[in-house]
Amino acid sequence: MTAEGSDPRSIVGAIDWGGTKLLVGLVDDEGRVLASRAVPTPTGGASNVLSRAVELLRESLAEQDRSGDALRGVGVTVPGVVDAAGHVLKYAPAHGLRDVPVARELGMHVGVPVRIANDVDACALAEVRFGRANFENFAWVTISTGVGGAFVLDRRLFRGGGLAGEIGHVVVEEGGPRCGCGHLGCLEAVAAGPAIALHARSLGLPARSAQDVAALAASGNLIARSALERAAAALGRALAFVQNLLDLDAVVLGGGVARSLNFDVIRATLADRVLPVPGRHLPVLRLTALEAHAALLGAASLVLPPENH
Ligand SMILES: [Zn+2]
């Protein structure tokens, strides 16, 4: 049921296709999530994921007593590289996917325009549209099972040739741990959740995950604390490169591991390494307020009408 006088097509479908979780919801133009469903990401290929997403979208519409006609469009975030038009998932090596025509396949089922974006880029777009702060120039950094980044410059996502923002592969420790990309000492190989847990185990801690390390640190374990501080310092070094190059207003952190890092260590490392100019302002460093819905809201923003300014 829609409120009297409201535009029946003022809602969009949003799909957050994650490596482990598939989140589907309905979002209005104020960024309210009206209904949502989360399931483990189906295995067996992209078609399984997309058909499950369509089912969840229909369930969400039914819950809201709406039909597919209510949708203005469907936005999708994907865990990989996307073509410039926002239609095709070009490459997602961790998932063995290449050239998946997501917009076309979904469009056949939902009958409305479909746009897709890289998941980290989408989080940055969500922060632009729905975040509490109004930063002109900022970096979004996701720290979870990997480390991803996106840059918003003059309130627009900077895509470069399509691969901009890969802060996870800035080298922060020469000769450091081997990264999934093949290089040594990338930020991701030091500060992502699995890297933190691996380092903690090498120090003798019984940690299967970064959450385990964080729990030990919270209970006063100094080794666990130092393991997390190593990751925080690595992030500070990477952000200092970024700050010297781009002089940003802010860095917004998301992802399950980010909140476990010591922000004082990140700030101090960053401050030590930027060009010292009298009166210089360092970027604001904060956790996103969008929580676990950041990517879902980013997906929605792909198909919502432009904001009126
Ligand atoms: Zn790497």
Taking only the tens place, the pLDDT of each residue in 296-305 is: 999 999 999 8
Which residue range(s) make up the domain with 183? 133-288
Q: Same structural domain for residues 87 and 114?
A: yes
Distance CA 188, CA 220 (A): 26
Collect the ranges in the chain with pLDDT lower than 50.
1-5
Give me the CATH number covering residue 154.
3.30.420.40
The residue out of 118, 149, 173 marking a domain boundary is 118
> What's the Rg (C-alpha) of the chain?
20
CA of 257 to the centre of ligand 1 (A): 18
Report CA(186)–ligand 1 centroid distance (Å).
5
In the chain, how many H helices and how many E strands?
A: 9, 13
Distance 248 CA to ligand 1 centre (A): 23
Among 75, 27, 17, 26, residue whose Cα is nearest residue 50? 17
**Both 94 and 164 in a single domain?**
no
In a domain, residue 1? The reply is: no
Distances (CA, A) of 193 to 2, 223, 257: 43, 16, 6
Q: How far apart are CA 118 and CA 124, in angstroms?
A: 10
Strand partners, 108: none
Q: Are residues 159 and 82 in the same domain?
A: no
Give dist(CA 218, CA 153) in Å, integer: 36
Tokens 């290089």 belong to which residue? Answer: 183
State how far the Cα of 124 lies from the Cα of 254, in Å rounded to an integer. 10
Assess if residue 85 is contained within a domain: yes
- pLDDT for 278 equals 93
**Tokens at 243, concatenated:** 């700050």
* Residue 31 included in any domain: yes
- 44: in domain: yes
Helix (H, G, I), strand (E, B) or coil at 220: coil
Q: Say if 293 falls within a structural domain.
A: no
| 85 CB burial (10 A radius; 0-12, 13-18, 19+) | exposed
Kindly state whether residues 180 and 218 are assigned to the same domain.
yes
Question: Ligand 1 centroid vs 210 CA: distance in angstroms?
Answer: 19
**What is this model's ipTM?**
0.99
Distance separating alpha carbons of residues 175 and 42, to the nearest angstrom? 37
CA distances from 283 to 86, 122, 143, 187, 294 (A): 30, 21, 18, 19, 21
- The CA 145 to ligand 1 mean position distance, Å, reads 13
Distance, CA 263 to ligand 1 centroid (Å)? 23
SS3 assignment, position 18:
coil
Q: What is the pLDDT of residues 157-198, one digit of tens each?
A: 999 988 899 999 999 999 999 998 899 999 999 999 999 999
CB-side exposure of 81: number of CA atoms within 13 Å?
17
Q: How far is the CA of 142 from the centre of ligand 1 (A)?
A: 15
Q: Tell me the CA–centroid distance for residue 273 and ligand 1, in Å.
A: 22
Sign of the four-CA dihedral 174, 179, 182, 187: negative
Q: Both 76 and 139 in a single domain?
A: no
> Does residue 270 share a domain with residue 170?
yes
Residue 305 lies inside a defined structural domain of this protein: no
Rounded to the nearest angstrom, the distance between the alpha carbon of 57 and the centre of ligand 1 is 35
* Same domain, residue pair 52 and 152: no
Residues 184 and 280 in one domain: yes
Nearest to 116 by CA among 185, 15, 35: 15
Residue with tokens 């979208």: 57
The alpha carbon of 184 and the centre of ligand 1 are apart by a number of angstroms equal to 7
Beta bridge partners, 221, equal: none
Q: Which two tokens stand for residue 12?
A: 């969009």
Residues 153 and 276 in one domain: yes
Q: Is residue 299 part of a domain?
A: no
pLDDT score of 6:
52
243: left (phi over 0), alpha (psi -120 to 50) or beta: alpha
* Phi, then psi, of 184 in degrees rounded to 5: -105, 135
Q: Which of 118, 143, 163 is the last residue of a domain?
A: 118
144 and 275 inside one domain: yes
Number of domains into which the chain is organized? 2
| Domain final residue pick, 84, 118, 152 | 118
Cα-to-centroid distance, 170 and ligand 1 (Å): 7
Nearest CA to 67 out of 129, 131, 22, 111 is that of 111
The crossing angle, in degrees rounded to 10, of helices 222-246 and 210-218 is 110
